[in-house]
A and B are shown apart, each in its own frame.
Chain A
Amino acid sequence: MNKLELISALKTDADISKAEAAEVVQIFFDAMTDALVQGDRVEIRGLCSFFVKEYKSYTGRNPKTGEKVTIKPKKLPFFKCGKELKERVDYK
């Protein structure tokens, strides 16, 4: 499912216009993006939480050539699956 399909499904399920559905979806993901950019945590009960994890510089290797490369410090959004989602997705 992609963003457009999510918008269509929301239009139908929530019985709102397509433009409104698009705006709701946009607000939802923009809010999460902005929070992560600020370094804030995101916690959506039942779905997931996100926080930004900082990685220090380290020496890695190019898996193809075996060459050593220095990886600069970086930040990555780290995802943690929520309890309800975890239980629903896993085999029963």
Chain B
Amino acid sequence: MTLTKADIVDTITERLGYSKVKSSETVETVLEIIKDSLEEGDDVLISGFGKLCVKDKAARKGRNPATGADLMLDKRRVVTFKSSTILRNKVNEK
């Protein structure tokens, strides 16, 4: 079973008594705030869950695995996740 946005929307509809549309919009707003923050280069720290970090990766030499040709890979900016100790312990409990 995979947890998706729809499941979260359903829980919010149930628990807050919002319409389905409002729940869905609210979830999208949460996602938009998180994405905006990361786009600005600002990490998102959720205590008890983990930290979404923005990391700069330097340009590096790579190789095309198909042809073996050398090439330069551009510098890039990626999102990494650091699990909180609480979440890690919970996952390992069972």
Contacts and interface: CB of A to CB of B under 8 A. Distances in A.
Q: Do A and B come from one complex?
A: yes
A2 B44 CA distance: 6
B73 interface: no
Interface string B79-94: 1110100011011111
A81 B5 CA distance: 15
Q: How many interface residues does chain A have, given as a range? A: 35 or more
Contacts of B49: 29, 32-33
B46 A2 contact: yes
Nearest to A91: B77
A35 B37 CA distance: 25
A33 B8 contact: no
Interface string A31-63: 111111111111111111010100000000000
A9 B13 CA distance: 20
B5 to A, nearest CB: 6
Nearest to A46: B31
Contact of B91 (A6, A14, A52): A52
A92 to B, nearest CB: 10
Contacts of B35: 46-47, 84-85, 88
Contacts of B19: none
Interface string A1-45: 111001001100110100010011101110111111111111111
B3 A13 contact: no
Contact of B80 (A1, A47, A79, A84): A79
Interface of A: 1-3, 6, 9-10, 13-14, 16, 20, 23-25, 27-29, 31-48, 50, 52, 74-77, 79, 81, 84-86, 88-91
Given A1-B37, A35-B1, A85-B35, 5 more contacts: A1-B34, A9-B33, A37-B94, A43-B4, A90-B77
